Structures are given as C-alpha cells and as structure tokens.
Amino acid sequence: MLRDELANWLKGLQSSICSALEAADGKAKFSTEPWKRTEGGGGVTRVIQDGNVLEKGGVNFSAVEGEVPAFLLSEKEHTVASTGKPDTFFATGVSIVMHPKNPMVPIIHMNIRYFEMSPPIGEAGNKVHWLGGGIDLTPHYVNENDAKFFHQSLKKVCDKHHASYYPKFKTWADDYFFIRHRNETRGVGGIFFDRLVADGEMTFEKNIAFWKEVGESFAGIYTELMKRNKDLPFSENEKQWQLIRRGRYAEFNLVYDKGTKFGLETNGRIESILMSLPPLASWQYDHKPQHGSAEEKTISLLKKGINWA
C-alpha cells in the first residue's frame, strides 16, 4: 500500500537526518521517544539538545489517522470530488526545526508530508491524496552568500523535476512564511508546496520522486551551513538579537503555521507539536535596530520577492 511505503521511507529519512546532524554537531545525541495517538496512529519524536552547535532541535516522524477534523471540512481545497464529504484521513510526514547556539548559524525548518482522505464507506467518491512540503531558512543575521547557496541548492532540486517548480514554490514560500502583523518574512524563504497531485506530465510517481529529493536535500544543505558559521565569533548584543528573532519565529508558528494548527486540532502530541519553539526567546517593547547596524540590514532583507538564486 502506497501510504505504508511512504511512511516507511519517511522513517528511514528521519534516521539518516539525525545521524548526519549528530556527526555535524560532534557532541549531542538525539533522544528517541515513540508515542501513540488514541484516535489512531502515532509517531517517533527525536530531540537533540545542548550540543556544540545545536541548542535545541527536533526531527519528528508521525503517521496518524482517524475522522477528518471539522476545520479541514471547512476548507474548500480539502473537499472530495464526490457526492459525500470525506470521512477519514491518514497523514504521515517528517517535520524538522533546528535552533542553533551561535546566532551566526541560521534556524532551519523542513516538513514533507503525505495526506489522504476517503469518503464514508458505501458512499460514492474516490480516495483523494496529495503531497506537501517545504523547507525554509531563518537567519538571525542574513548572510547573502548563505542565502544564495540555500536557494541555489533548492533550485537545483526543483529544476531536475520541473522548470516551473522553483519559481512557483519559491513565491509560495514567500507568501506562506510571512508574518503579516509585522509585515516581514520569517526569514529568507525557501520553497513551499501543498496539494501536489498528478498534473499533466508530472504523474504522482514523478512528484513522489521530487518530494523525496526535497527531503534528502536537507542534511547536506544544513550541515554545510553549520560548518560555515558555527565557529564565528559573536557578542552579547548579537546573542540578544538572536533571542528577538527567535521571538518572531515563535509568533509565526503559534499564529499562522498550518502544521501547528493541524496538530492541535487533531489532538496531536503537544510536546511534539511545540518542539518547533526555541528554548529561549525575547520580546522587547517597540524594539528598533540601530541605524546602519547589521540588525537593521537583516530587517531590510526580510521581504518577499528577492531573487536569491
């Protein structure tokens, strides 16, 4: 069954990414905690803390199923093309967030997921399924060479599968990872896609190959960024700025992130859902960076439409 094949592949991806991050950190090891969901399914939460490079991070696998939550039925794009509405769902994915110690090392996030919904037994209609995912970079200080490396790496993955994917999914990421109440992007973006189905020459099998390559690209990209920046010096002022930027990250995840909302609405495991939050963050009233500072430059680059690649 396709869903079982993809879930097993995701388990392997979780394991390989954790091994790569442990090697790059050189000190900390991931803890492993299997969990089960009362309504159906479960997952494995793997967390790394207090490393040489990584202050806190998680690489989570989940495969959950059950009745479709009401909030999904209210979203037009999730309805099933049938005489009835969907009755049950299955979702599996790997979700990653890394919060480094050194403010010169960026925060990174990735999620790739497979989702399916089925109509009630005995009613007309077919099971619908799709792929989703995204990977984005949130530097505390925007290093333009790192942003170019990150986007060029993602563009190479996308271009291998379809010429339209990078520009389309890059724009989607700019729009999705946007803190509307701050009028700024969460970071330098990346790619984001959802409801990816068979479309013309891109069969579902071809999109699975693309989806897998996005997942496999993570370890090489982030360990390179760790290596480039982990030993750079920083001051107490830069550490305080890191905490402010982490606060912005938390704001996005708690206010806008659909994955967080899905986990909460489907009675997911709260420790795994909130794994994405940083260990420490700061909110200073009406904080404004000093004119001409590196902090001001970073804020000026947190906007949509920059052609980093």
* Residues annotated as part of the active site: 109
Q: Is 23:50 a contact under the CB 8 Å cutoff? A: no
C-alpha to C-alpha distance for 303 and 305, rounded to whole angstroms = 7
Structure tokens at 298: 């970073």
> Rounded distance, CA 185 to CA 281, Å?
18
Q: Which residue has the tokens 């333009």?
A: 144
189: left (phi over 0), alpha (psi -120 to 50) or beta: left
Residues in the chain, how many?
309
In angstroms, the CA 253 to CA 165 distance is 25
CA 60 distance to own-chain centroid: 11
Residue with tokens 């993570």: 218
Nearest-angstrom CA–CA distance, 183 and 173: 15
Other beta carbons less than 10 A from residue 286's beta carbon: 4
The angle subtended at Cα 163 by Cα 159 and Cα 169, nearest 5°, is: 80
Q: Shortest CA distance to 60 belongs to which of 38, 28, 22, 92?
A: 92
Cα–Cα distance measured from residue 238 to residue 140, given in angstroms and rounded to the nearest whole number: 9
